[in-house]
């Protein structure tokens, strides 16, 4: 896992190269909305891209992480099915339903049943290198989504320049990021992370929560601001130093949201002694998101290392899949 995290920017560069040379076929229908289907490490890219391109997208982009697709899907819906292995049962069921509704279908995968279907039915698809845990393949699976949205005229910008800038920033800051991750790891040991972020960056918080769950083998939760100010903030009433607040911050967070964060801290500090603020670097929303994703990955890995546990092990998920296979 350490090597895969170190290769994050290499994965991005490799994925952009693959996407650039992948030939995507023409389409005739007018696209009115987009549905991105995927779960876990295969689905997080959809959560993040839907927020990164919100000011650029020509139509709504909905993320689906379930067995069933929404009723609005029709022949004018672009459905992007994402499954790193190509065998995620929920994604395959969503694909079947999208086919039944004559949706426009595109796929991102490394192989498996999804690739077989895409090739057999001539769906546009981008094939990325396989063999990694899905959560460690984010750098490979994320860029193709931009190329697909660009191909179908959902977005105007190709975002390659922003990816390249993000890669350069992360590479130049790698040592500093690891040092910061180690310091944050020390503060999080033995505690339950409570993650907060501006609503426009919720995908980043989801990614960090998932990595803490899978890599660090820990429970945690996240919420967004300002929504949590209308509910969860009231729940901060009991002193509990087992909780550690982690706030992801960006210089483009809405100014009133930034003020809320400052006021929130005065509440949190009454009930926990651990409040950690993590600031992104970069000029665009994409650059900042990638920076925070990478820093969060390092934190989740270093926690596992410090706990002396196997960061790649996901036996309980394997058990669940084996039980489901009996149905």
Is 214 catalytic? The answer is: yes
CA gap 192, 11 in Å, rounded: 31
3-state helix, strand, coil in the chain (%, to 5): 50, 15, 30
Q: How far apart are CA 217 and CA 220, in angstroms?
A: 10
Polymer length of the chain: 327
The closest alpha carbon to 138, from 82, 71, 183, 91, belongs to 82
Q: Which of 90, 202, 214, 287 is catalytic?
A: 214
Q: Which of 175, 230, 262, 323 is catalytic?
A: 230
Catalytic, 321? Answer yes
Annotated active-site residue in 17, 68, 259, 321: 321
CA nearest neighbour of 140 among 150, 152, 151, 127: 127
In terms of DSSP bridges, do strands 104-109 and 77-83 run parallel, antiparallel, or are they unpaired?
parallel
Respond yes or no: is residue 230 known to be catalytic: yes
How far apart (Å, rounded) are the C-alpha atoms in residues 178 and 278?
Answer: 13
Residues with catalytic roles: 214, 230, 321
């Amino acid at each position: 896992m350490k090597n895969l995290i170190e290769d994050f920017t290499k994965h991005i560069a490799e994925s952009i190269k693959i996407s650039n040379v992948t030939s995507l076929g023409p389409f005739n229908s007018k696209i009115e909305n987009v549905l991105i289907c995927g779960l876990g490490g295969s689905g997080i890219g959809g959560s993040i891209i839907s927020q990164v391109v919100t000011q650029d997208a020509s139509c709504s982009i909905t993320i689906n992480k379930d067995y069933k697709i929404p009723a609005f899907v029709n022949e004018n819906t672009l459905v992007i099915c994402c499954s790193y292995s190509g065998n995620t049962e929920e994604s395959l069921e969503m694909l079947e339903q999208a086919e039944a509704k004559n949706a426009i279908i595109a796929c991102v995968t490394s192989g498996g049943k999804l690739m077989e279907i895409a090739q057999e039915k001539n769906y546009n698809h981008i094939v990325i290198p396989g063999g990694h845990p899905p959560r460690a393949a984010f750098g490979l699976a994320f860029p193709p989504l931009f190329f697909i949205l660009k191909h179908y005229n959902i977005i105007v910008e190709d975002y390659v320049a922003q990816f390249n800038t993000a890669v350069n920033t992360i590479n130049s800051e790698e040592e500093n990021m690891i040092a910061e991750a180690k310091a944050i790891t020390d503060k999080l040991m033995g505690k339950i992370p409570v993650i907060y972020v501006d609503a426009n960056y919720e995908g980043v918080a989801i990614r960090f929560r998932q990595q803490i769950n899978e890599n660090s083998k820990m429970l945690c939760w996240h919420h967004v601001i300002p929504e949590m100010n209308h509910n969860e903030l009231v729940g901060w009433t009991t002193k509990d130093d087992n909780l550690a607040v982690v706030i992801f911050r960006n210089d483009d967070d809405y100014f009133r949201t930034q003020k809320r964060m400052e006021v929130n801290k005065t509440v949190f500090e009454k009930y926990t002694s651990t409040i950690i603020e993590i600031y992104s670097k970069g000029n665009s929303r994409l650059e900042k998101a990638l920076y925070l994703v990478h820093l969060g990955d390092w934190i989740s890995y270093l926690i596992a290392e410090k706990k002396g546990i196997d960061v790649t092990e996901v036996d309980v998920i394997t058990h669940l899949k084996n039980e489901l296979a009996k149905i």
